[in-house]
Structure formats: structure tokens, C-alpha cells
């Protein structure tokens, strides 16, 4: 009997558990998933909670129910991986798990504790995050009471998961205050360490003016060092200050602490991974999927999905003694909710930046690329159902895993 252990039961871990359960004969292969949290979150839905579009009920399910019957689920914290002994130490029971192959899908995690002044008395009172269910829910209550003043959204530094979510938050905030009839009383400011809201040439060219049109002010190249919650200001490493009445922070993200304890991560606890085969660079029986990798792909659910799509057939070759094919191209695909019932869609990979055009999708599309449309918004809302019922279950979507140039204006 061979044993595949999957660390992390999020988007990548759950999908790959289904795909491997389907592909590997259960008489010869045992599959185990370890995750400390009994709840699976539909993380893209967190964005909608502050604005009352989704409630917490829409974005949670018990994790256990999402695995196929062949898979053993262990709810436990991971202590550390011991790659030279092919085993994992857990904080719960059993204390150790041996593996023939290990799949690391431990994700990325916002770390407000890394920026002084965020966590404290003002946390979830005047300072909020929306990358956790608690933060998004607390922010919803605060926005309902917010009548006038300065709302500041601060991106601490890349990498973050769902890198377009800060932009979506700004668009939705503009729309939300508009609908409440108080937009003129609210100043919306985006403070970012990046040189602008858009940094890729074509996206800047096509979408460059969109924040200005919505009267959203941007403070670029601002590296926040600390926050003074009493004075209500962000302070940069160069001692510049930006005042706020309500601060929404997107903290820096780190990989799992278990990766750090194992001594196999980089400076932010991401695992060095071959960007085309998804094998851990240092180890021949460890693969890394989703946000846990250090690849230059976006940390996003669509990327986890495309990684799983190309990983499984490659893994089946590998266990037969064949070479891994360098098939993962960094494909990423996401809707950008822009408020007023519309959304953008972008589709890109390691080599090709987001381009305008049309995205063909049998049965539903085409969706417009780098351009606002109502159908993109419906696509985004429909996606929550697809996530729970199709994607996580490892069923195939009619979307190619590798990026296609069809419909794009190069």
C-alpha cells in the first residue's frame, strides 16, 4: 500500500484529493488530508460580506463533508515535515504520518501581526481586514454605521492572495456609498507600495483612468512601517503620514508556520517549487500546489485549479517512472467585481500579461476581457455555486488549464 499525504484541505488540497481518489486504485493507494480547521471557506466570497451582498452562511461549509469517502481526513495542526524521513509530525493524533508522496497545499495567510499598530484595541473597531471571515463580518457592521469621513485601503506589500481583491474592494465601496446616497461624504483612498493601481502595460493603458473616474484617490509607492491607532494615521518608512477614519488593511501574507518549523521554506515561508512541474525543488517525492508555492503565479483559486489540472496527469506519469512534463504555464483567470452590477475579467500566465478581447466559454460566455460587463458580474456570482458543487469536487470545468490566445487582442 502506498500513501499520499496532502497537507491542507483548502481549494488545492480538496480538489487534488478528489482527483487522486478518482485516478488511483484504492486497493493500492491510501489518501490522507490533514487540516487544522474543521471549516472550509469560500474565500473569494469574503469580499462581498462587508457590503452585505453575502452573509457568512454563504461562504462556509464543514470541511469533512467535502472529501470523497476514500479519503481519510485528520483534523490536526501540523507540527513539521521531516523530508529526509518521509514523515509528518502532527500536534493531534496520530502523532506521525509516513508518506510515499507528500503534497503541500498549506496556503498563504494574512499576518497583521507583522505591521506594528494593527492588532490592538482598534482592531475590528476602526482598523479592519477583509481576508478573514471575522474581519469581513466586523467590517460589514462598521460600514453600516459609517456616515462620513475617510476610508483608507492599505496594501502592506505583495505577495497577497487574490491580488485584484483590493481593487474590487475599492470599486464596491464606491458603489456601496453611492447606493446609500452618501458617496459625496466619503473620501476613498488607496495606499499601495506599488507604483500604481495597475502595473502591467496593457492593463494600465486600458484601465488607467478607472480609479480617477470613480473619484478614488491613490497614494502610490507608500511602504507602511506602522500604524498609530490613536492618531489614526498610517506611517511610512520615510515618515510620511496618511490619516484615516476607517482603515481597511490587506496585511502581508506568509506561508504556513509549519513550513517554517520544517526548515523548507523561503524568507516568507513559501516552498521553493519548480514553476512548470510543481515539484518541490529540493525533494523528489514532494509536490506543492496553490498558494504555498514560491512560483511567480498569482496566489488565487483559479491558479490552484489550473495547477491541479496539470499536476494530476503528470503525477500519474511520475509514479509509472516517467519524467514530469513542464506543463504548468502560470495560467490565472479572475473576475474583477467593479460595482454597479458589472465586472471585468482577466486571463493571463507567466509570459502573457492580461490582454483585452473576448474569453470564450461554451454554454455561458463569451465574457469580455479587460472590459466591464454585466455578464462578467453574473459569471462571478455564478462561480460560488460552481466552486462548491463542481470545482472542489474535482469535476472538470470546460476551461483549458493552459492559457489560450483565442479571442485575445495581442
Contact residues: another protein, CB under 8 A: 157-159, 163-164, 167, 193-195, 198-200, 203, 207, 221, 223, 225, 237-238, 252, 266-268, 272, 275, 294-296, 298, 332, 336, 346, 348, 350, 354
Nearest distance from C-beta of residue 175 to another protein, angstroms: 19
Angle at 40 between CA 20 and CA 251, to 5 degrees: 115
Nearest distance from C-beta of residue 101 to another protein, angstroms: 24
Q: Which three cell numbers stand for residue 166?
A: 483590493
CA distance 241 to 86: 50
Nearest distance from C-beta of residue 182 to another protein, angstroms: 29
Which CB atom, from 163 or from 365, has the smaller least distance to another protein?
A: 163
Which CB atom, from 174 or from 294, has the smaller least distance to another protein?
A: 294
Nearest distance from C-beta of residue 21 to another protein, angstroms: 32
Which CB atom, from 164 or from 186, has the smaller least distance to another protein?
A: 164
Q: Is the dihedral of CA 9, 10, 11, 12 positive or negative?
A: negative
Which CB atom, from 158 or from 364, has the smaller least distance to another protein?
A: 158
Which CB atom, from 254 or from 387, has the smaller least distance to another protein?
A: 254
Residue 201: count of CB within 10 angstroms of its CB? 10
Nearest distance from C-beta of residue 312 to another protein, angstroms: 24
Which CB atom, from 340 or from 350, has the smaller least distance to another protein?
A: 350
Which CB atom, from 111 or from 384, has the smaller least distance to another protein?
A: 111
Secondary structure tally for the chain: helices H, strands E: 8, 24
Nearest distance from C-beta of residue 86 to another protein, angstroms: 25
Nearest distance from C-beta of residue 340 to another protein, angstroms: 20
- Render 190-231 in DSSP notation, one character per residue: EE-SSSSS--SHHHHHHHTTHHHHTTEEEE-S--EEEEETTT
CA distance 54 to 388: 15
CA distance 380 to 54: 13
Residue 409's closest CA among 202, 132, 134, 174?
Answer: 202
Query: What is the C-alpha R_g of the chain?
Result: 21
Q: Is 79 exposed, middle or buried (0-12, 13-18, 19+ CB in 10 A)?
A: middle
Amino acid at each position: 500500500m502506498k500513501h499520499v499525504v496532502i497537507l491542507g484541505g483548502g481549494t488545492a488540497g480538496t480538489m487534488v484529493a478528489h482527483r487522486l481518489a478518482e485516478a488511483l486504485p484504492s486497493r493500492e493507494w491510501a489518501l490522507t488530508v490533514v487540516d487544522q480547521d474543521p471549516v472550509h471557506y469560500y474565500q473569494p466570497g469574503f469580499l462581498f460580506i462587508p457590503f452585505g451582498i453575502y452573509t457568512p452562511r454563504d461562504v462556509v461549509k464543514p470541511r469533512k463533508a467535502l472529501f470523497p469517502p476514500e479519503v481519510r481526513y485528520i483534523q490536526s495542526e501540523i507540527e513539521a515535515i521531516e523530508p529526509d524521513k518521509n514523515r509528518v509530525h502532527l500536534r493531534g493524533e496520530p502523532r506521525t504520518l509516513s508518506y510515499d508522496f507528500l503534497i503541500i497545499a498549506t496556503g498563504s495567510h494574512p499576518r497583521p501581526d507583522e505591521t506594528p499598530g494593527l492588532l490592538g484595541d482598534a482592531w475590528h473597531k476602526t482598523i479592519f481586514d477583509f481576508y478573514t471571515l471575522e474581519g469581513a463580518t466586523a467590517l460589514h457592521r462598521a460600514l453600516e454605521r459609517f456616515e462620513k469621513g475617510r476610508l483608507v485601503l492599505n496594501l502592506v506589500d505583495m505577495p497577497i492572495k487574490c491580488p485584484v481583491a483590493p481593487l474590487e474592494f475599492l470599486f464596491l465601496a464606491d458603489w456601496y456609498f453611492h447606493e446609500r446616497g452618501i458617496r459625496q461624504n466619503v473620501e476613498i483612498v488607496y495606499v499601495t507600495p506599488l507604483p500604481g493601481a495597475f502595473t502591467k502595460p496593457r492593463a494600465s493603458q486600458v484601465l488607467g483612468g478607472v480609479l480617477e473616474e470613480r473619484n478614488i484617490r491613490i497614494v502610490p509607492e507608500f511602504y507602511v512601517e506602522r500604524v498609530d491607532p490613536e492618531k489614526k494615521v498610517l506611517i511610512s518608512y520615510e515618515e510620511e503620514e496618511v490619516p484615516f477614519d476607517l482603515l481597511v488593511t490587506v496585511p502581508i501574507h506568509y506561508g504556513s508556520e509549519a513550513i517554517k518549523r520544517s526548515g523548507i521554506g523561503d524568507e516568507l515561508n513559501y516552498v521553493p517549487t519548480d514553476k512548470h512541474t510543481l515539484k518541490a525543488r529540493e525533494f523528489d517525492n514532494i509536490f506543492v500546489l496553490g498558494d504555498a508555492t514560491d512560483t511567480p503565479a498569482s496566489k488565487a483559486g483559479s491558479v490552484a485549479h489550473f495547477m491541479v489540472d496539470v499536476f494530476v496527469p503528470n503525477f500519474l506519469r511520475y509514479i509509472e517512472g516517467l519524467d514530469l512534463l513542464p506543463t504548468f504555464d502560470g495560467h490565472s483567470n479572475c473576475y474583477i467585481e467593479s460595482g454597479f452590477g458589472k465586472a471585468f475579467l482577466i486571463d493571463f500566465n507567466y509570459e502573457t500579461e492580461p490582454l483585452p478581447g473576448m474569453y470564450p466559454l461554451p454554454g455561458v460566455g463569451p465574457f469580455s476581457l479587460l472590459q466591464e460587463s454585466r455578464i462578467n458580474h453574473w459569471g462571478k456570482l455564478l462561480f460560488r455555486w460552481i466552486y462548491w458543487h463542481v470545482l472542489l469536487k474535482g469535476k472538470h470545468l470546460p476551461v483549458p488549464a493552459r492559457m489560450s490566445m483565442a479571442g485575445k487582442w495581442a
